[in-house]
Amino acid sequence: MSSCCQPSRGEPAAPESTPVRAAAARRDPVTEWVSIPSGAFRMGGDDSDAFAADGEGPVRSVEVSAYRIAAVTVTNQQFGAFVSATEYVTDAERFGWSFVFADFIHPVARDAVIDARVPGASWWRGVRGARWSAPFGPGSGIEDRPDHPVVHVSWNDALAYATWSGTRLPTEAEWERAARGGLDSARFPWGDELMPHGRFMANIWRGSFPEHNTAADGFVGTAPVRSFPPNGFGLYECSGNVWEWTADRWSADWHATDSPATRHDPVGPSVGTDHVLRGGSHLCHDSYCNRYRVAGRTHNAPNSSTGHTGFRVASPATR
């Protein structure tokens, strides 16, 4: 796939990885769990902004069992604890590069840009040395960003973190049920208006994409978790900030076997098969990619990583 949403690495597999030592210093990494009760909800979207090719619609009733989901996405600090405990090496590190938004590349990293432009989305660059701990390439770091969402993590990386922490990735249905915050068919986690009473509710692109971001909402890139109000269930930043990996394999046809309407259990590793991402990111703008709506969805290969993709974890209702 080539788009502003998810540039794909387009390579079959990363070099051989070291297995995650799941028992190594395992601990519950979630500081705030949100309990979601069992029940049915209306999933998907079919309004005028919906991307039909993405399989957003039709709106359908989906039932999920009770579960818990993290109030926020996994942060740099939390992912760092995982790496320290397991010596895990991410896909971006194994490949040696990852996708960075062109305007964010660190000055030191200008010579590290490789020929990996995305057709039709020239704002993406492949940058050698870009990884979770150097999100803008060589010369950058996360020392002053411990509470920002971890980025440059692939689906494989997110699954490894979940394995270590004794959690799992949410299914797509679980993610949307939680993101809706108890509202029925609302466009956003807080309702139908993007800025109710003129209030900024999400970290998205403000201005003219991709030339100018006014940062009117306070942020040019990612924002620290809990920067915007929570939804009705208590989840933060379900719209904008970073795309979030889910357990489900991608299908634009919700009738398919692995679709969110018919499969709610976490799926296993699937090398070469795209997985679903939800929530949009700080690079989304209504002129190009308004997938920060709660029904918006996209996908990417399990080994791909970018500077605007992270994840949150889930668990059974009782552990």
Instruction: Pull the structure tokens for residue 282.
Output: 């700080």
Q: Is the dihedral of CA 5, 141, 32, 269 positive or negative?
A: positive
CA-CA distance, 278 to 172, in Å (whole number)?
Answer: 8
pLDDT tens digits for range 67-126:
999 999 999 999 999 999 999 999 999 999 999 999 999 999 989 999 666 767 788 999
| pLDDT confidence band for 7 (50 / 70 / 90) | confident
pLDDT value for 273: 86
| Total-model pTM | 0.90
CA-CA distance, 259 to 253, in Å (whole number)?
Answer: 7
Instruction: Pull the structure tokens for residue 187.
Output: 């466009």
- The pLDDT mean for the chain works out to 88
pLDDT value for 259: 40
pLDDT tens digits for range 191-220:
999 999 999 999 999 998 888 999 999 999
CATH number of this structure's domain 43-82+148-316, picked from the four choices 3.20.20.60, 3.40.390.10, 3.20.20.10, 3.90.1580.10: 3.90.1580.10
| pLDDT confidence band for 139 (50 / 70 / 90) | very high
SS3 sequence, the chain? CCCCCCCCCCCCCCCCCCCCCCCCCCCCCCCCEEEECCEEEEECCCCCCCCHHHCCCCCEEEEECCEEEECCCCEHHHHHHHHHHHCCCCHHHHHCEEEEEHHHCCHHHHHHEECCCECCECCEEEEECCECCECCCCCCCCCCCCCCECCCCCHHHHHHHHHHHCCECCCHHHHHHHHCCCCCCCCECCECCCCHHHCCCCECCCEECCCEECCCCCCCCCCCCCCCCCCCCCCCCCCECCEEEEEEECCCCCCCCCCCCCCCCCCCCCCCCCEEEECCCCCCCCCCCCCCCCCCEEEECCCCCECCEECCCEEECCC
| CA-only gyration radius of the chain, Å | 18
Domain ranges of the chain: 43-82+148-316
pLDDT tens digits for range 15-45:
555 555 544 455 566 779 999 999 999 999 9
Q: Are 54 and 297 in contact (CB under 8 A)?
A: yes
